Amino acid sequence: MELKSFRPIILASGSPRRRELLSSLGLPFEVMVSDADESTPPDWAPEKIVQELALRKAQAVVPAASGRNAVVVGSDTIVVLDGKVLGKPADEGDSMDMLSMLQGRTHRVFTGVACIGLPDGQTAVDYKSTSVTMRPMSREEIAAYIATGEPADKAGSYAIQGLGATLVEAIEGDYFAVVGLPLALLGRMLSEYGIPVLNGQER
């Protein structure tokens, strides 16, 4: 049976990990890299941070896509330990500090997702939270992981889908949220915009 066409998706992210995850759904999409302000007040809760930043990222590309019958998707991920947000490391020393704090402990990963339907502006925002436990590591192991270059642009200084998987002892929640895009949540949100993931036909 020939699949019907439906609204294309615009991914407001330059992250190759999010591109790969969205590609796995088999839906047509294009990428528009978002240049949004990512600063937030220090007293914001993690779930508020990721939902607000996901929305900002989506909103930032709306002007370039105005008038189109598409859905813009923005996403943001943060790592939280003891109430402290761990973003992307500034340098290798910062990576060492982050991974030393995380080793042998459980932290939470929050990922927000925002969808904006065009041209009507229908907006939906949600998030997922996942607990990740890192195994105990020596400074030598941490240094060897940092030397691979993988932690350089990752929140919390690790990539669970890469070599960082060898640092993770347990996970409770949505694996894909830790990678950067919770697919089950996104699928439910897209269905509200007439983009069903499973049957490839408009509702």
User: Which residues are catalytically annotated?
Assistant: 76
Q: How far apart are the first and last CA of the chain?
A: 16
d(Cα 51, Cα 42) in Å, to the nearest integer? 15
Short-list 148, 136, 130, 152, CA closest to 100:
136
Give residue 164's region: left, alpha or beta (phi > 0; psi -120 to 50). alpha
Strand partners, 168: 134
Vertex 137 angle, CA 135 and 140, to 5°: 155
Short-list 107, 84, 82, CA closest to 158:
107
Short-list 158, 138, 139, CA closest to 148:
158
Residue in the block written with tokens 């890299």:
33
